[in-house]
Amino acid sequence: MSYKYYADKTFEAKLTFVDGHVFANINDREWLVDTGAPTSFGLSSSLKINGCEFELHNNYLGLSAKELSMHIGHVVYGLIGTDILNQFNIVMDYENEKIAFSNEEVAMGGTEVPMHKFMGIPIINAKIDGQNRKMFFDTGAQISYWHGNSINAYESIDTVKDFYPGFGEFETKVYSIDIELEDKPFNIRCGVLPNQLEMALSMGGTEGIIGNEIMKNRVVGYFPKKDQIVIS
């Protein structure tokens, strides 16, 4: 095991990947885990994790839990965004289907990726085509995204349908792109966001989004208190 934490100061839940989305099962209820959303919401007024109780909104940008369930094709009780996630040190273990929320520091080995935040959402550097590019790290994104003008040099391999709160559904071509995070190579599927959403990205000074595909078959530590992501 590449990580270690204090069991008595950590809450563990089942972690699952379904149709490109990441879920934590808390008290027999499925919650979407989304580092790309600054606001948590759900069918209840609060959510308790590791002894801490958090107030919940009933929607985010007009999107309710019921509507979210319809969009992703999986029944969820709500979404856990960075207003809650950033209060913990978090380990997401794909193979062992486990997510751990710790109040204390977690010891973990692997590739250490520095991050900073914009409106609570993590931003990391990814090397693409030999250049460092600022990208949001979004566990709620089933694929990654990169500015359209940059990606057109690649050959499309597929198309996918996606959606974004406050915008709705859209379709994008998908490209296979090699990237590096702190010299660790990854191959990701990358799409192009609609112009309106690309403009929103630019407000955060970023060129795109790194989605949750980099978590598959790996252990990922999300440590917002020390502005670091660790990939094992």
Express each pLDDT in 26-53 by its tens digit. 999 999 999 999 999 999 999 999 999 9
Same domain, yes or no: 117 and 206: yes
Q: Which domain-ending residue is among 106, 127, 145?
A: 106
180: enclosing H helix or E strand? strand 168-181
Same domain, yes or no: 82 and 131: no
How far is the C-alpha of 154 from the C-alpha of 204, rounded, in Å?
Answer: 25
Q: Are 35 and 140 in contact (CB under 8 A)?
A: yes
Same domain, yes or no: 14 and 102: yes
Of 55 and 195, which is predicted with more confidence? 55
Where do runs of H (alpha helix) occur along the chain? 65-72, 82-85, 148-151, 195-203
Q: Are 176 and 189 in contact (CB under 8 A)?
A: yes
Q: Which domain-ending residue is among 106, 125, 153?
A: 106
125: enclosing H helix or E strand? strand 121-128
Q: Which residues, other chains included, contact 82 with Cβ-Cβ below 8 Å and sequence gap of 6+?
A: 35, 37, 38, 117, 120, 121, 122, 224
Same domain, yes or no: 13 and 116: no
Q: Which domain-ending residue is among 106, 140, 165?
A: 106
Radius of gyration of the chain (CA): 17
Same domain, yes or no: 148 and 222: yes
Same domain, yes or no: 13 and 68: yes
Same domain, yes or no: 139 and 89: no
Q: Which residue has the tokens 């109040």?
A: 103
- Domain range for 8: 3-106
CATH classification of the domain holding 112: 2.40.70.10
Tell me the pLDDT tens digit for each residue of 134-165.
999 999 999 999 986 778 888 899 999 998 88
Same domain, yes or no: 58 and 119: no
Of 38 and 6, which is predicted with more confidence? 38
Same domain, yes or no: 171 and 129: yes
Against a cut of 0.85, is the pTM above it?
A: yes
pLDDT at 190: 96
Same domain, yes or no: 141 and 226: yes
Instruction: Compute CA 200 distance to the chain's CA centroid, rounded to the nearest angstrom.
Output: 17
Domain count, the chain: 2
Q: What is the mean pLDDT of residues 86-110?
A: 96
Q: Could you give the 3-state DSSP secondary structure of residue 60?
A: strand
Tell me the pLDDT tens digit for each residue of 163-208.
888 888 999 999 999 999 999 999 999 999 998 888 888 889 999 9
* pLDDT band for position 6 (cuts 50, 70, 90): confident
Q: Are 135 and 210 in contact (CB under 8 A)?
A: yes
Same domain, yes or no: 191 and 222: yes
Q: Are 135 and 124 in contact (CB under 8 A)?
A: yes
pLDDT at 1: 57
How far is the C-alpha of 193 from the C-alpha of 183, rounded, in Å?
Answer: 26
Same domain, yes or no: 148 and 214: yes
